[in-house]
Structure 1
Amino acid sequence: MEINFEQLRPIGLTQSIANQLYTLKDPLPDGARLMRITEVQRDWFGLGDGPLEHRARALHKLLHDLQEYGDTLTVGDWVLVEGNAGGELWITARLPPVTQIARRANDGRRQPLASNVDTALLVMGLDDDFNPRRMERYIAMVRASGVVPVVVLTKRDIGRDVQQRVEQLRHRLPPDIAIVAVNGLSDDAAEQLRPWLSQGQTLVLLGSSGAGKSTLTNTLLQEDVQSTGGVRKGDGRGRHTTTARSLHQSPAGACIVDTPGLRTWRADADAEALAATFDDIETFASRCQFRDCRHESEPGCAVRAQVSEDRLLNYHKLLRDAQRGQQTPMERMAQRRKWKALGKAGSARARDKRG
């Protein structure tokens, strides 16, 4: 199979991605072409081959096989595409992603957000959207996926206590995390983010509704490709203006994936991988009196003595979410029955005491 690197490199093809062709079980069919998914709709997919955009459908067998492993096609995937006698294009295979950011639904199902991503721009507004604990969780989940996180604080021009909030994050987050405060409507935003916008790089914007992702996307692309909207006056939450993930190429050369707002984001990583992203906690844990210290109420805990209570609570919450995400449906049902029985027993004891 011939690959036109000169044509595909601008939309993110790398040698490590191309090497994934050797991992496919079936032989490469004659006439197959390598393309990248740029948009996912219910019945069709947008594809890019460099200079042109195409539409295609996916073979039912491919979708079924991916579903068997809790996976599906998503924006950023590299796929093999074949044409039929009627001129229709069909996706027949997917290259295993080099990186993939995903989340777990409430029922434990895995939902990919974007594939083959180099950098995640974690967008948070400097208005009522500002939430350091949420940002801390976002960073942990992105790093556990093997993707570089960059914190982008939007609405610098209208936010409250801008400098204090930026310094609060610098003090709280690991020192190797880049933090950039921007006005998403200003061309300066593209200049501030230029180090991550070089040709062939793929970025995904992640954040809650109303954080300014679509506004920033339009600024980076220098055209209005996404609708934008305001936020509610009561709580600062945004309305869903972006309803589907899509990949676009910026004038600077990078591919940018915009995504709908995240209401919730449950980790798609095991507890061990997530724990490793809290570098400070891992370092201090080696100094705890007990090797199996859980950093809760044990004596001689070095972590509680050095790490803020809020950060430690966030750490425990993230690990609990990860453990729940790895449970099977039967395990979740058993856990619910256990807590229901404990609740009934507690109520019975209370009634006995009251006579």
Structure 2
Amino acid sequence: MSSSSSSSSSSGSSPSAPFTLAALGWDDSLAAELPDGLIPARVSRVDRGAAEVMSASGHLRADYGARVRRAAAADPVALPCVGDWVGLRRLAEGRFELEELLPRRTAFVRGGVSRLSRGGLSGDSQGQVLAANVDVVFVAEPALHATDTADLSRIERLLALAWESGARPVVLVTKSDLIGEGLEFLLDEVATAAPGVDVHPVCSVSGEGVEIVRSYLEGTRTAVVLGASGAGKSTLVNALAGEDVMETQQVRAGDGRGRHTTVHRELIPLARGGLIIDTPGIRRIGLYDMGEGVDMVFSDLEELAGRCRFGDCRHDTEPGCAVLAAIEDGTLPERRLESWNKLQREAAWMASRSDARLRKEIQGRWKSITKEMRKTGRNRP
């Protein structure tokens, strides 16, 4: 099995300095998965039908081979993405072809957008891999001028996908200099939405918290930064890299948000070790093939639910409900229960997309709920 590539770069690619494969995360277990005769490389950026990769010969461009194209046509999750390890073949004319996608250790996958209504859930059930083989998922949520609120629902959704990916989630409250004395309240609020997850304030401009973030990237660890546009993701990547590797723009006057100029995902090796993936702002965060991701985000609720008098308690009007009791005494925000119910319904719907029987059962349940609401008049304004 090959562990290095030819010294020539592909046609159309600019020559670049070679990479040490070990510094990119290559090891013996990956080498064991590489078919004989192929060149190992790691995807740093994807274009339509091709990928830019980092190899022992530097940056190369590789077109997708027939087998990769067929697999991706059958399942979009099989499409190569940033962070993937792949096997290349050098063709006679000097071009490179991406022939093999090596097994992923972790994968951050989002589903299509789902819409919740009285009739049930609907939406695109296909998945999209945003990053592969990552060790840490940084969820970036910006602090804003003169406010102590955060988009906790967005944080919870990203954390559910992060837990499901197999990577370690960490929440970063970025642009922490914008909020002043409200920072501690904001951190506490975010912490309630992220049980068991580290939460750190970060100001990439002043350097506050940057070294803490860097500590998660020791050795050859790979991280991905996810969040909304203007969350300061690219500024953080530049601070970690020690140079402007990603383009940024100034924040807009009035709301402290930036206009995010990143339009692609890119894997960037850091001079002090580790690798980081910058991403465009995420507007839509659909769940995909949830196992325990939602349960991990709502571990506090799961623990309370275990104390309910009835094992099938729906935490609605049942007597002896520990969840409702916690809401009543103020130890659990009611918003958490609403968010939990919403994500559970969405996760169940996504799971049912390949199970006609379960889908019919869910749709029937929604019809019953709608009929009951009409009888009691609860659907009236």
TM-score category of the 2 structures, normalised to the smaller one:
0.7 to 0.9
Cα 1:292/1:341, change in 2 over 3 Å: closer
Q: Deviations over 1:248-274 (max 9, x none)?
A: 011221111001101021112326542
2:341 maps to which residue? 316
What SS is found at the alignment partner of 1:134?
Answer: helix
Residues 144, 273 of structure 1: 8 Å contact kept: yes
Range 327-336 or range 76-85, more displaced: 327-336
Task: Verify: 1:263 aligned to 2:263, yes or no.
Answer: no
Select which of 145, 152, 168 maps to 2:172.
152
1:201 maps to which residue? 221
One-letter amino acid of the structure 1 residue matched with residue 51 of structure 2 = F
Cα 1:96/1:164, change in 2 over 3 Å: same
Task: Verify: 1:326 aligned to 2:333, yes or no.
Answer: no
Residues 155, 182 of structure 1: 8 Å contact kept: yes
The CA distance in 1 between the partners of 2:65 and 2:368, in whole Å, is 47
Task: Verify: 1:122 aligned to 2:123, yes or no.
Answer: no
Cα 1:279/1:18, change in 2 over 3 Å: farther
Give unpaired runs (5+ residues) of structure 2. Answer: 5-18, 114-123, 327-331
How many residue pairs align between the two structures? 341
2:306 maps to which residue? 286
Give 1:67-82 correspondences, 5 Å limit: 67-71=73-77, 72-82=79-89
Alpha-carbon offset, residue 95 of structure 1:
0.7
1:7 maps to which residue? 20
What SS is found at the alignment partner of 2:2?
Answer: coil
Alpha-carbon offset, residue 167 of structure 1:
2.6
What SS is found at the alignment partner of 2:163?
Answer: helix
1:25 maps to which residue? none
1:113 maps to which residue? 130
1:353 maps to which residue? none
Range 311-320 or range 211-220, more displaced: 311-320
2:325 maps to which residue? 305
Q: Deviations over 1:65-101 (max 9, x none)?
A: 1332341110000000001110000000101100000
Q: Deviations over 1:109-145 (max 9, x none)?
A: 1010000000011111001683223212222221122
Residues 109, 129 of structure 2: 8 Å contact kept: yes
The CA distance in 2 between the partners of 1:329 and 1:34, in whole Å, is 35
1:164 maps to which residue? 185
Residues 17, 98 of structure 1: 8 Å contact kept: no
2:71 maps to which residue? 65
What SS is found at the alignment partner of 1:124?
Answer: strand
One-letter amino acid of the structure 2 residue matched with residue 2 of structure 1 = S
Select which of 42, 47, 59 maps to 1:41.
47
Select which of 237, 245, 255 maps to 1:225.
245
The CA distance in 1 between the partners of 2:296 and 2:306, in whole Å, is 13
Cα 1:317/1:347, change in 2 over 3 Å: closer
TM-score (norm 2): 0.79
What SS is found at the alignment partner of 1:326?
Answer: helix
Cα 1:63/1:49, change in 2 over 3 Å: same
Alpha-carbon offset, residue 171 of structure 1:
4.6
What SS is found at the alignment partner of 1:53?
Answer: strand
The CA distance in 1 between the partners of 2:197 and 2:208, in whole Å, is 21
One-letter amino acid of the structure 2 residue matched with residue 257 of structure 1 = I
2:59 maps to which residue? 53
One-letter amino acid of the structure 2 residue matched with residue 45 of structure 1 = A
The CA distance in 1 between the partners of 2:101 and 2:275, in whole Å, is 19
One-letter amino acid of the structure 2 residue matched with residue 173 of structure 1 = A
Cα 1:3/1:29, change in 2 over 3 Å: closer
TM-score (norm 1): 0.85
Residues 16, 98 of structure 1: 8 Å contact kept: no
Residues 163, 296 of structure 2: 8 Å contact kept: no
2:194 maps to which residue? 173
Residues 63, 73 of structure 1: 8 Å contact kept: no
Alpha-carbon offset, residue 50 of structure 1:
4.7
The CA distance in 2 between the partners of 1:333 and 1:184, in whole Å, is 46
